[in-house]
Amino acid sequence: MSEWAAVVLAAGKGTRMKSSIPKVLHKVCGKEMVRHVADAVREAQSGPLVVVVPPDSGEVRQCLGDSLEYVEQADPKGTGHALLQTETLLRHRAAHLLVLYGDTPLIQPSTLMRLMERHLDGGAVATLLTTRQIPASGLGRIVRDSSGRLVDVVEEADASETQRAIAEVNGGFYGFRADWLWPALRELAPSASGEYYLTSLVRVAAREGVVETVGPEEALEVMGVNDRVQLSEAERAMRERILRRWMLAGVTITDPSTTYIDADVSVGRDTTVHPNTTLGGSTQVGERCVLGPGSMVYDSVVGDECKVVAS
């Protein structure tokens, strides 16, 4: 039995994207959102990785490949119901479960590892990733008692005015102890809409056992992408992260505000990237190159000490 398994929930319809493309397949810096999430999980833990998908999930399966496992949620009855669909596959394979959403491309492996570490060190039945956001509009509020203990997660639609003023919000990333999780999921009560939610599960956990919380390294890591506006916000944040990573690795980027480097691109040391340059797809750039100004390079290999100008 593995210490951890991970479940990525990717069965949502994503109607607010107004697209024929499954929401989790929309790209951030040239890479599908669900692939950002799956890669972060793989770096954080080596146990089973399961993706919950809708019945018509061929495109998602094609994107992620056969190196992970899939479970279908035929009848969309909420996030708690989606997680329950993985019980048959995972019940005897992992002591703890990491649960997250496929539309959160900014999550970092280091944050997932911190969540798992806090969960184990605290002996918790459930551990949540929480953060403070002002305004906290649209997100579930973390309710604590006078001692600071988490007692509830209240969705904004159900929150009182006092609760809506709470700045600490649920990030939507969870660690669960499996021997507690499966019975609790089966006994979970439906919401007024008839759906079963993970936030209701946290409420049960707060009554029955220890619930821990941990914060992300960056507040934006918990951002879920539900529409094209949020997609553009995730794109901007990811682009800044990618550019910073390459600059710290020895690449000169003379004008980050006009430089675009996709997530799967690699750039060698001492290469200089000039303004208005885009490196896309799976492009590989060697060392001591000069790119731009005004270059667009996609799915190409550029050797060491090459110049690519206005291409």
Interatomic CA distance for residues 9 and 188, integer angstroms: 18
Question: Residue 129: in which H helix or E strand, if any?
Answer: strand 126-132
Task: Kindly state the DSSP code that residue 7 receives in the 8-state scheme.
Answer: E
Label residue 261 exposed, middle or buried (CB < 10 Å: 0-12, 13-18, 19+).
buried
At 171, is the secondary structure helix, strand, or coil?
Answer: strand
Angle between helices 178-186 and 198-208 (to 10 degrees): 120
What tokens does 124 get? 């918790």
Q: Is 16 a catalytic residue?
A: yes
Task: Output the CA–CA distances (angstroms, integers) from residue 18 to 14, 15, 227, 262, in the order listed.
Answer: 8, 6, 8, 24
List the catalytic residue out of 16, 164, 228, 244.
16
Interatomic CA distance for residues 127 and 116, integer angstroms: 8
List the catalytic residues: 16
